[in-house]
Protein backbone atom coordinates (compact mmCIF):
# COMPACT_ATOMS: atom_id res chain seq x y z
CA UNK A 1 0.00 0.00 0.00
CA UNK A 2 3.02 2.31 -0.30
CA UNK A 3 2.32 5.49 -2.31
CA UNK A 4 4.39 6.29 -5.38
CA UNK A 5 4.24 10.02 -4.59
CA UNK A 6 3.99 11.45 -1.10
CA UNK A 7 1.60 14.15 -2.36
CA UNK A 8 -0.98 11.50 -3.24
CA UNK A 9 -2.14 11.47 0.38
CA UNK A 10 -4.40 14.36 -0.75
CA UNK A 11 -6.18 12.09 -3.20
CA UNK A 12 -6.82 9.53 -0.49
CA UNK A 13 -8.20 12.26 1.81
CA UNK A 14 -10.59 13.45 -0.91
CA UNK A 15 -11.95 9.96 -1.58
CA UNK A 16 -12.16 9.28 2.16
CA UNK A 17 -14.07 12.53 2.75
CA UNK A 18 -16.56 11.62 0.04
CA UNK A 19 -17.15 8.13 1.43
CA UNK A 20 -17.46 9.61 4.92
CA UNK A 21 -20.12 12.07 3.73
CA UNK A 22 -22.33 9.51 2.01
CA UNK A 23 -21.76 7.02 4.83
CA UNK A 24 -22.76 9.63 7.39
CA UNK A 25 -25.96 10.48 5.52
CA UNK A 26 -26.85 6.82 5.05
CA UNK A 27 -26.29 5.70 8.64
CA UNK A 28 -26.76 8.84 10.78
CA UNK A 29 -30.10 10.71 10.74
CA UNK A 30 -28.54 14.00 11.88
CA UNK A 31 -26.38 14.04 8.71
CA UNK A 32 -29.38 13.89 6.39
CA UNK A 33 -29.62 17.54 5.37
CA UNK A 34 -28.96 19.81 2.43
CA UNK A 35 -25.49 20.85 3.60
CA UNK A 36 -24.21 17.27 3.76
CA UNK A 37 -25.87 16.41 0.42
CA UNK A 38 -24.30 19.39 -1.38
CA UNK A 39 -20.88 18.55 0.07
CA UNK A 40 -21.29 14.91 -0.91
CA UNK A 41 -22.14 15.87 -4.50
CA UNK A 42 -19.15 18.21 -4.67
CA UNK A 43 -16.77 15.60 -3.29
CA UNK A 44 -18.24 13.02 -5.63
CA UNK A 45 -16.94 15.15 -8.49
CA UNK A 46 -13.60 15.64 -6.77
CA UNK A 47 -13.38 11.85 -6.34
CA UNK A 48 -13.88 11.55 -10.11
CA UNK A 49 -10.89 13.85 -10.66
CA UNK A 50 -8.92 11.44 -8.47
CA UNK A 51 -10.19 8.58 -10.63
CA UNK A 52 -8.96 10.47 -13.70
CA UNK A 53 -5.50 10.92 -12.17
CA UNK A 54 -5.30 7.31 -11.03
CA UNK A 55 -6.02 6.09 -14.56
CA UNK A 56 -3.01 8.08 -15.75
CA UNK A 57 -0.71 7.03 -12.90
CA UNK A 58 -1.60 4.57 -10.17
CA UNK A 59 -1.33 5.75 -6.55
CA UNK A 60 0.41 2.71 -5.15
CA UNK A 61 3.61 0.92 -6.00
CA UNK A 62 1.68 -2.35 -5.86
CA UNK A 63 -0.28 -3.14 -9.03
CA UNK A 64 -2.71 -5.21 -6.95
CA UNK A 65 -3.36 -2.30 -4.58
CA UNK A 66 -4.07 -0.02 -7.54
CA UNK A 67 -6.62 -2.48 -8.88
CA UNK A 68 -8.36 -2.79 -5.52
CA UNK A 69 -8.46 0.99 -5.26
CA UNK A 70 -10.21 1.09 -8.63
CA UNK A 71 -13.06 -0.89 -7.07
CA UNK A 72 -13.57 1.86 -4.50
CA UNK A 73 -13.45 4.55 -7.18
CA UNK A 74 -15.95 2.59 -9.27
CA UNK A 75 -18.37 2.65 -6.35
CA UNK A 76 -17.76 6.40 -5.93
CA UNK A 77 -19.04 7.13 -9.46
CA UNK A 78 -21.18 4.04 -10.13
CA UNK A 79 -19.28 3.12 -13.28
CA UNK A 80 -16.17 0.99 -13.92
CA UNK A 81 -13.17 3.20 -13.23
CA UNK A 82 -11.11 1.46 -15.91
CA UNK A 83 -13.43 2.79 -18.64
CA UNK A 84 -11.48 6.06 -18.34
CA UNK A 85 -8.53 4.35 -20.08
CA UNK A 86 -10.15 3.96 -23.53
CA UNK A 87 -12.54 6.92 -23.30
CA UNK A 88 -10.10 9.47 -21.88
CA UNK A 89 -6.48 8.31 -22.10
CA UNK A 90 -6.65 6.88 -25.61
CA UNK A 91 -9.50 8.79 -27.29
CA UNK A 92 -10.01 12.15 -25.62
CA UNK A 93 -6.29 12.90 -25.35
CA UNK A 94 -5.88 12.41 -29.08
CA UNK A 95 -8.89 14.53 -30.04
CA UNK A 96 -9.39 13.34 -33.64
CA UNK A 97 -5.77 12.62 -34.55
CA UNK A 98 -6.43 8.90 -35.00
CA UNK A 99 -9.13 9.48 -37.60
CA UNK A 100 -11.94 8.89 -35.09
CA UNK A 101 -13.87 11.71 -33.40
CA UNK A 102 -13.54 12.31 -29.69
CA UNK A 103 -16.45 10.54 -28.00
CA UNK A 104 -16.78 13.54 -25.67
CA UNK A 105 -16.39 16.22 -28.36
CA UNK A 106 -18.39 19.33 -27.33
CA UNK A 107 -19.69 19.43 -30.91
CA UNK A 108 -21.92 16.44 -30.18
CA UNK A 109 -24.22 18.81 -28.23
CA UNK A 110 -25.92 21.13 -30.73
CA UNK A 111 -28.60 23.02 -28.84
CA UNK A 112 -28.95 26.67 -29.83
CA UNK A 113 -29.35 27.67 -26.17
CA UNK A 114 -25.93 27.06 -24.66
CA UNK A 115 -27.26 26.22 -21.20
CA UNK A 116 -28.95 23.16 -22.71
CA UNK A 117 -25.58 22.05 -24.12
CA UNK A 118 -24.19 22.01 -20.59
CA UNK A 119 -27.21 20.39 -18.94
CA UNK A 120 -27.76 17.69 -21.55
CA UNK A 121 -24.13 17.00 -22.42
CA UNK A 122 -24.00 13.75 -20.37
CA UNK A 123 -27.21 12.56 -22.05
CA UNK A 124 -25.69 13.23 -25.48
CA UNK A 125 -22.15 11.89 -25.08
CA UNK A 126 -22.87 9.22 -22.45
CA UNK A 127 -24.32 6.68 -24.92
CA UNK A 128 -21.56 7.47 -27.44
CA UNK A 129 -18.87 6.90 -24.80
CA UNK A 130 -20.56 3.74 -23.52
CA UNK A 131 -20.82 2.24 -27.02
CA UNK A 132 -17.25 3.21 -27.92
CA UNK A 133 -15.83 1.77 -24.71
CA UNK A 134 -17.66 -1.52 -25.21
CA UNK A 135 -16.48 -1.75 -28.81
CA UNK A 136 -12.90 -1.04 -27.74
CA UNK A 137 -13.09 -3.68 -25.01
CA UNK A 138 -14.26 -6.39 -27.43
CA UNK A 139 -11.05 -6.23 -29.47
CA UNK A 140 -8.88 -9.34 -29.12
CA UNK A 141 -6.06 -9.07 -26.60
CA UNK A 142 -7.97 -6.96 -24.07
CA UNK A 143 -9.13 -9.78 -21.85
CA UNK A 144 -7.35 -8.30 -18.80
CA UNK A 145 -9.22 -5.03 -19.24
CA UNK A 146 -12.54 -6.85 -19.59
CA UNK A 147 -11.96 -8.85 -16.40
CA UNK A 148 -10.99 -5.78 -14.39
CA UNK A 149 -13.88 -3.73 -15.76
CA UNK A 150 -16.36 -6.53 -14.98
CA UNK A 151 -15.02 -6.79 -11.42
CA UNK A 152 -15.33 -3.03 -10.96
CA UNK A 153 -18.91 -3.03 -12.26
CA UNK A 154 -19.88 -5.96 -10.02
CA UNK A 155 -18.42 -4.24 -6.95
CA UNK A 156 -19.91 -0.80 -7.70
CA UNK A 157 -23.42 -1.97 -8.59
CA UNK A 158 -23.38 -4.83 -6.08
CA UNK A 159 -22.51 -2.63 -3.09
CA UNK A 160 -24.92 0.08 -4.20
CA UNK A 161 -27.64 -2.52 -4.66
CA UNK A 162 -27.09 -3.87 -1.15
CA UNK A 163 -27.41 -0.38 0.29
CA UNK A 164 -30.65 0.14 -1.62
CA UNK A 165 -32.07 -3.18 -0.46
CA UNK A 166 -31.19 -2.39 3.15
CA UNK A 167 -32.62 1.16 3.09
CA UNK A 168 -34.02 2.16 -0.29
CA UNK A 169 -34.85 5.84 0.17
CA UNK A 170 -31.72 6.76 2.10
CA UNK A 171 -29.65 4.76 -0.38
CA UNK A 172 -31.30 6.50 -3.32
CA UNK A 173 -31.07 10.09 -2.07
CA UNK A 174 -27.82 9.96 -0.12
CA UNK A 175 -25.74 7.46 -2.11
CA UNK A 176 -27.02 7.17 -5.68
CA UNK A 177 -27.69 10.89 -6.17
CA UNK A 178 -24.10 11.89 -5.25
CA UNK A 179 -22.73 9.01 -7.33
CA UNK A 180 -24.59 10.17 -10.44
CA UNK A 181 -23.80 13.83 -9.80
CA UNK A 182 -20.04 13.22 -9.83
CA UNK A 183 -20.12 10.91 -12.84
CA UNK A 184 -22.24 13.27 -14.92
CA UNK A 185 -20.17 16.34 -14.06
CA UNK A 186 -17.07 14.38 -14.97
CA UNK A 187 -18.53 14.20 -18.49
CA UNK A 188 -19.57 17.87 -18.43
CA UNK A 189 -15.97 18.89 -17.77
CA UNK A 190 -15.23 18.10 -21.41
CA UNK A 191 -17.56 20.80 -22.71
CA UNK A 192 -16.43 23.30 -20.07
CA UNK A 193 -12.73 22.79 -20.83
CA UNK A 194 -12.87 22.48 -24.64
CA UNK A 195 -15.95 24.21 -26.06
CA UNK A 196 -14.86 27.33 -27.91
CA UNK A 197 -11.24 26.18 -28.04
CA UNK A 198 -9.24 25.28 -31.14
CA UNK A 199 -8.31 21.61 -30.73
CA UNK A 200 -6.17 21.75 -33.87
CA UNK A 201 -3.64 24.01 -32.16
CA UNK A 202 -0.81 23.06 -29.85
CA UNK A 203 -1.68 25.41 -26.99
CA UNK A 204 -5.23 26.74 -27.45
CA UNK A 205 -7.04 23.40 -27.31
CA UNK A 206 -8.11 23.62 -23.65
CA UNK A 207 -9.52 26.08 -21.15
CA UNK A 208 -7.74 26.34 -17.79
CA UNK A 209 -9.00 27.31 -14.32
CA UNK A 210 -6.21 28.35 -11.98
CA UNK A 211 -8.02 29.03 -8.70
CA UNK A 212 -5.77 27.68 -5.88
CA UNK A 213 -8.78 26.51 -3.84
CA UNK A 214 -10.40 24.71 -6.76
CA UNK A 215 -7.17 23.01 -7.72
CA UNK A 216 -6.49 21.92 -4.15
CA UNK A 217 -9.72 19.93 -3.90
CA UNK A 218 -9.74 18.97 -7.60
CA UNK A 219 -6.06 17.88 -7.48
CA UNK A 220 -5.00 20.39 -10.17
CA UNK A 221 -7.61 19.33 -12.71
CA UNK A 222 -7.90 22.99 -13.72
CA UNK A 223 -4.51 22.91 -15.47
CA UNK A 224 -5.86 21.15 -18.52
CA UNK A 225 -3.65 22.35 -21.37
CA UNK A 226 -0.44 21.07 -19.81
CA UNK A 227 -2.18 17.84 -18.85
CA UNK A 228 -3.15 17.27 -22.50
CA UNK A 229 0.31 18.12 -23.77
CA UNK A 230 2.09 16.03 -21.13
CA UNK A 231 -0.36 13.37 -19.85
CA UNK A 232 2.41 11.45 -18.13
CA UNK A 233 3.20 14.36 -15.81
CA UNK A 234 2.16 13.83 -12.18
CA UNK A 235 -0.72 16.07 -11.10
CA UNK A 236 1.41 17.75 -8.42
CA UNK A 237 3.79 19.08 -11.11
CA UNK A 238 1.08 20.61 -13.31
CA UNK A 239 1.00 24.18 -11.85
CA UNK A 240 4.76 24.69 -12.28
CA UNK A 241 4.73 23.24 -15.79
CA UNK A 242 1.69 25.36 -16.69
CA UNK A 243 3.45 28.57 -15.69
CA UNK A 244 6.63 27.63 -17.54
CA UNK A 245 5.22 26.15 -20.75
CA UNK A 246 1.60 27.19 -21.21
CA UNK A 247 1.36 30.77 -19.94
CA UNK A 248 3.82 32.21 -22.52
CA UNK A 249 2.00 30.57 -25.45
CA UNK A 250 -1.72 30.28 -24.75
CA UNK A 251 -4.48 32.76 -25.60
CA UNK A 252 -4.95 34.58 -22.26
CA UNK A 253 -8.73 34.25 -22.66
CA UNK A 254 -8.33 30.50 -22.09
CA UNK A 255 -6.86 30.99 -18.61
CA UNK A 256 -9.56 31.76 -16.08
CA UNK A 257 -9.49 32.04 -12.31
CA UNK A 258 -13.02 31.24 -11.18
CA UNK A 259 -14.88 28.23 -12.55
CA UNK A 260 -18.14 29.48 -11.04
CA UNK A 261 -17.77 32.87 -12.72
CA UNK A 262 -17.06 31.22 -16.07
CA UNK A 263 -20.10 28.93 -15.78
CA UNK A 264 -22.35 31.89 -14.95
CA UNK A 265 -20.93 34.06 -17.75
CA UNK A 266 -21.05 31.32 -20.38
CA UNK A 267 -24.25 29.44 -19.60
CA UNK A 268 -26.48 31.86 -17.66
CA UNK A 269 -25.68 35.32 -19.03
CA UNK A 270 -25.37 34.46 -22.71
CA UNK A 271 -27.44 32.47 -25.19
CA UNK A 272 -24.89 31.25 -27.76
CA UNK A 273 -21.82 29.12 -27.20
CA UNK A 274 -18.23 30.48 -27.25
CA UNK A 275 -16.38 30.67 -30.57
CA UNK A 276 -12.66 29.83 -30.99
CA UNK A 277 -10.32 32.75 -31.66
CA UNK A 278 -7.87 30.60 -33.62
CA UNK A 279 -6.78 33.53 -35.81
CA UNK A 280 -4.84 34.99 -32.88
CA UNK A 281 -1.38 33.57 -32.21
CA UNK A 282 0.09 33.76 -28.71
CA UNK A 283 3.13 31.57 -29.13
CA UNK A 284 6.41 32.90 -27.80
CA UNK A 285 8.79 33.74 -30.64
CA UNK A 286 11.70 33.61 -28.23
CA UNK A 287 11.21 29.91 -27.68
CA UNK A 288 10.48 27.84 -30.77
CA UNK A 289 10.73 24.47 -29.02
CA UNK A 290 7.41 22.67 -29.36
CA UNK A 291 6.88 20.85 -26.07
CA UNK A 292 4.51 17.91 -26.11
CA UNK A 293 3.70 17.30 -29.78
CA UNK A 294 0.58 15.31 -30.59
CA UNK A 295 2.69 12.26 -31.42
CA UNK A 296 4.36 12.49 -28.00
CA UNK A 297 0.97 12.87 -26.32
CA UNK A 298 -0.25 9.73 -28.09
CA UNK A 299 2.73 7.71 -26.89
CA UNK A 300 2.48 9.08 -23.33
CA UNK A 301 -1.23 8.24 -23.18
CA UNK A 302 -0.56 4.66 -24.34
CA UNK A 303 2.31 4.19 -21.89
CA UNK A 304 0.29 5.63 -19.00
CA UNK A 305 -2.68 3.38 -19.71
CA UNK A 306 -0.46 0.29 -19.84
CA UNK A 307 0.96 0.95 -16.37
CA UNK A 308 -2.25 1.36 -14.32
- 248 in helix, strand or coil? coil
pLDDT band (50, 70, 90) for residue 212: very high
Pick from 244, 201, 242: nearest CA to 224: 242
Read off φ and ψ for residue 60, nearest 5 degrees.
Answer: -105, 155
With a CB cutoff of 8 Å and minimum separation 6, the contacts of 19 are 72, 76
Flag whether 1 is in a domain: no
* Range scoring the smallest mean pLDDT among 64-78, 257-271, 292-306: 292-306
Average pLDDT (87-110) is: 77
The CA distance from 121 to 66, in Å, is 30
Tell me which residue range forms the domain holding 70: 6-306
Pick from 250, 226, 199: nearest CA to 96: 199
Residue 86: per-residue pLDDT: 87
pLDDT at 52 over 80: yes
More confidently predicted of 296 and 62: 62
Q: DSSP class of residue 102?
A: -
pLDDT band (50, 70, 90) for residue 95: low
Residue 286: per-residue pLDDT: 34
Strand partners, 256: 209
Average pLDDT (94-117) is: 80
pLDDT at 304 over 60: no
| Residues above pLDDT 90, as percent of the chain | 73
Residue 199: per-residue pLDDT: 82
Flag whether 92 is in a domain: yes
**Per residue in 198-225, is it b (16+ CB within 10 Å) or e — as a string?**
bbebbbbbbbbbbbeebbebbbbbbbbb
Tens digit of each residue's pLDDT (9 = 90 or more) over 227-254: 999 988 999 999 999 999 999 999 999 9
Flag whether 107 is in a domain: yes
pLDDT at 289 over 70: no
Residue 92: per-residue pLDDT: 82
Residue 162: per-residue pLDDT: 98
Residue 5: per-residue pLDDT: 92
Q: DSSP class of residue 251?
A: -
Residue 307: per-residue pLDDT: 54
Average pLDDT taken over every residue of the chain: 88
pLDDT band (50, 70, 90) for residue 264: very high
Residue 80: per-residue pLDDT: 95
Residue 9: per-residue pLDDT: 95
| Residues above pLDDT 70, as percent of the chain | 87
Residue 94: per-residue pLDDT: 67
Tens digit of each residue's pLDDT (9 = 90 or more) over 110-142: 999 999 999 999 999 999 999 989 998 998 789
Helices within the chain (DSSP H only):
9-27, 34-56, 63-77, 84, 114-137, 143-166, 168-171, 177-194, 212-217, 224-229, 238-241, 259-263, 294-306
Q: How far from the centroid of its chain's Cα atoms is residue 163's Cα?
A: 26
Tens digit of each residue's pLDDT (9 = 90 or more) over 12-23: 999 999 999 999
Flag whether 70 is in a domain: yes
| Residue 58: how many other CB atoms lie within 10 Å | 21
Query: Total structural domains in the chain?
Result: 1
Residue 37: per-residue pLDDT: 97
Amino acid sequence: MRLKHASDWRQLVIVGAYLGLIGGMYFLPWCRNVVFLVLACAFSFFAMTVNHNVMHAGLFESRRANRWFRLILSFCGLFPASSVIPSHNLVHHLFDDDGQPDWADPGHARFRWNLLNLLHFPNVVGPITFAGTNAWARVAGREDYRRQSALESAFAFGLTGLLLVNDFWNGLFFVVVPQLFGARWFLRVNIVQHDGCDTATEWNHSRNFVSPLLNWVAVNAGYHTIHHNRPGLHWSDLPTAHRAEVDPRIDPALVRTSLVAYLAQTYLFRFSRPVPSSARVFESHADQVQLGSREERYLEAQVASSKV
